[in-house]
Chains A and B, each alone.
Chain A
């Protein structure tokens, strides 16, 4: 079945450091891929998405590229801020057999000033 695996956290970085959160997936067909972010005390909100191979999603300085050959969708940011501290979820929605979204376990990011 479809699945998403993302790196375990927590990830602790200093402000202005480079961020990578790894995400790999298993899916039949051609899924859409998403990164969601959850700030403390809030629900999830979409950070970025990509709907086909080689697409790059980007938002608020974050980027992720849909790599079909490596079944990956790694999240990157060149210079993190304290305000980026949150939990990040990688997710996929397969377009075969219905369209349930499968979420990874989440990666908590702490950014220190």
Chain B
């Protein structure tokens, strides 16, 4: 079974802190994604990556950056956390291809910025 793991289930950080969210997948998938999930808004794509060292902005990249140094690991970085970044963060991976493949999700990290 595909397994996508995220480094923390719950995280509490202070405004202005630099925050790292880590995601690891064990299925050798080329594609990895970071979303945030907010009530009534569904999932919104922050960043995605097609391959090692490659990244593309999603729909809401402001205030975030990413790193993909190894194929299995995709990190989301909040450069200076703000209260409006309090959310559920979901990582996902998928095989290469033009969209017919499903995404496999991690359990999520619920981040609270105070």
Contact = CB atoms under 8 A, between A and B. Distances in A.
Q: Is A bound to B? A: yes
Contacts, number: 56
Interface residues of B, number: 24
Contacts of B42: 89, 103-106
A85 interface: no
Contact of A99 (B90, B99, B105, B108): B99
Contact of A43 (B40, B48, B107): B107
The secondary structure that dominates the A interface is loop
B99 A94 contact: yes
Interface residues of A, number: 24
Interface stretch (A12-20, A44-52, A69-77): A44-52
Contacts of A106: 42
Interface of B: 4, 33, 35, 40-43, 45, 48, 56, 58, 90, 92, 97-100, 102-108
